[in-house]
């Protein structure tokens, strides 16, 4: 009996830790990249930062501002035809070789409001006798779907299923709304059911 409880406790701790890491690690990596970029451009803004009083953290503030401006300009350039071509070429030759990049890119596009991307489309999946919130990741040529069913309340941890089309019901809501329902232990699922497409 003691061993069973110890095993259950170990599984609980491992799963909870894993879910926490899935949330903390992307935020941590984004902050690290931002700090690295700020330190890289610090030399460029140092002469300008000397204009400000010593008590003002001008070098850090100007470095952050310059990094944000660079990100904005890159985003602006990607919107042009030539920029899109360069971006697509870079993605195909470099980024798509990184495991998980394509899925994360699709997730980011969905969160930004891009409804053209097939991946991460909100849906309900029929698992056993129940409807569960899910995300369509890809569609097979024969009509089946790969769906990701998140575990409550961590939207980025869960299980992957390959299901027939009749068991997958797209939901006409933004990705962020579906994520909120998952993060709130199902509160608000009534609105998702109302937005479910009828066959």
Domain edges within the chain: 2-97, 121-194
Asked if 105 and 148 count as a contact pair (C-beta separation under 8 A), the reply is no
Q: What is the pLDDT of residue 102?
A: 61
pLDDT, average across residues 178-192: 84
Report how far residue 91's alpha carbon sits from residue 89's, in angstroms, rounded to the nearest whole number: 5
Report how far residue 181's alpha carbon sits from residue 151's, in angstroms, rounded to the nearest whole number: 11
Residue 157 reports pLDDT greater than 60: yes
Q: What is the pLDDT of residue 180?
A: 84
Q: What is the pLDDT of residue 163?
A: 93
Q: Which fold has domain 121-194?
A: SH3 type barrels. (2.30.30)
**DSSP E strands: which ranges in the chain?**
121-127, 130-139, 145-151, 154-163, 168-170
Mean residue pLDDT of the chain comes to 78
Query: Ranked by mean pLDDT, which of 18-27, 56-65, 125-134, 186-195 comes out on top?
Result: 125-134
For residue 155, report the phi and psi dihedrals to the nearest 5 degrees: -65, -25
Burial grade of 192 (CB within 10 A; 0-12, 13-18, 19 or more): buried
- At which residue do the structure tokens 């990184």 appear? 98
Between β-strands 130-139 and 154-163, what pairing exists: parallel, antiparallel or unpaired? unpaired
Closest by alpha carbon to 118, among 98, 94, 148?
A: 148
Residue 162 reports pLDDT greater than 90: yes
pTM above 0.75, yes or no: no
- Give Cβ neighbours of residue 144 (< 8 Å, ≥ 6 apart): 162, 163, 164, 165
Report how far residue 130's alpha carbon sits from residue 85's, in angstroms, rounded to the nearest whole number: 44
Q: What percent of the chain has pLDDT over 70?
A: 77
CA distance to 13, 56, 84, 134, 165, per residue, from 199 (Å): 41, 61, 36, 17, 10
Q: How far is CA 63 from the centre of its chain?
A: 26
């Amino acid at each position: 009996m003691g061993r069973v409880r110890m095993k259950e406790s170990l599984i609980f701790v491992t799963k909870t830790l894993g879910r926490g890491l899935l949330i903390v690690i992307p935020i941590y990596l984004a902050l690290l990249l931002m700090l690295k970029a700020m330190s890289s451009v610090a030399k460029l803004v140092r002469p300008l930062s000397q204009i400000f009083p010593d008590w003002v953290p001008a070098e850090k503030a100007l470095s952050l501002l310059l990094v944000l401006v660079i990100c904005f300009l890159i985003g602006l350039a990607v919107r042009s035809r030539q920029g899109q071509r360069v971006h697509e070429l870079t993605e195909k030759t470099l980024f798509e070789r990184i495991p998980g990049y394509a899925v994360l890119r699709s997730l980011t596009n969905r969160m930004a409001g891009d409804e053209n991307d097939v991946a991460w489309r909100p849906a309900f999946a029929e698992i056993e006798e129940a409807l569960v919130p899910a995300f369509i990741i890809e569609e097979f040529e024969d009509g089946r779907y790969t769906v990701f069913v998140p575990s409550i309340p961590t939207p980025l941890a869960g299980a992957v299923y390959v299901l027939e089309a009749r068991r997958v019901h797209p939901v006409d809501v933004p990705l962020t709304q579906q994520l909120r329902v998952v993060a709130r232990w199902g509160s608000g699922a009534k609105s998702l059911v109302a937005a479910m497409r009828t066959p």
